[in-house]
Structure 1
Amino acid sequence: MTQPARIEYQAAERYDSGMVMEEAAPAAEHWPFTAARFEVPPGATTELDVHDVVELWMVRSGTGRVVSGDTTMDVAPGAMVYFASRVPHRVTNTGTDQLRLFSVWWRGPSS
């Protein structure tokens, strides 16, 4: 694709934790990365995630606590968190509003 294009999201996937994720539509398959937006309800913790790709999260709104390997950090709007390949990670919504994040993942130097 050489021209700018608006990319839609696929249908929302709902998880047992209460997380809702919308991955970028297949039309973006030529990208060197994949993207999604997701929400975590107040008090919920996402399932532990571990994969071969590297990943970057950006917090859009809400507050949370990210655990990645042996590291724990609090996050708020504008915060970005990078996850190396094969390092388990999850997030807990520590606030009273939805925690909204944007995620991008790709095969990086550690994958």
Structure 2
Amino acid sequence: MTRPRRIAYRSPERHDSGMVIEEAAPAAQDERWPFKTARFEVPPGRTSELDVHDVAELWMVRTGTGTVASGSTRLDVGPGEMVYFAGRVPHQITNTGTEPLRLFSVWWTSTGPAA
């Protein structure tokens, strides 16, 4: 890709937890990106599905507050904060606030050591 392009989101994917995910949908010629992205939302009082995968992932909190659970670790997060997960690390988030918890996610194949 040699010039900036607008990237659309795919149709929203709704989960039983109430979470809604929209993955970025790059044009076919851009499919070789070294990462993928999505935005997602968790309603107040709800918890996302437990997620575990081979790729590394970074969550960036846009709005709302929540608690990230990963193994025995619990982290309270709010707007502007980020959380990193190495590949194969189970993780999920609970919305602890009264407004929708909105996050942006970036994931990529991890070739380095788990951190």
Please name the residue that 1:73 is paired with: 75
Residues 61, 98 of structure 1: 8 Å contact kept: yes
Matched, 1:101 2:92: no
1:59 partner letter: V
- Per-residue displacement from partner, 1:67-106 (whole Å, max 9, x unpaired)? 1122100000000000011010000000000000000000
Q: Any stretches of 5+ residues in structure 1 without a counterpart?
A: none
Residues 65, 73 of structure 1: 8 Å contact kept: yes
Please name the residue that 2:44 is paired with: 42
Superposition pairs for residues 2-81 of structure 1, below 5 Å?
A: 2-27=2-27, 28-81=30-83
| TM-score when normalising by structure 1 | 0.96
Structure 2 distance, partners of 1:4, 1:21, is 24
Q: Any stretches of 5+ residues in structure 2 without a counterpart?
A: none
Identity %: 70
- Per-residue displacement from partner, 1:18-44 (whole Å, max 9, x unpaired)? 000000004242210000000000000
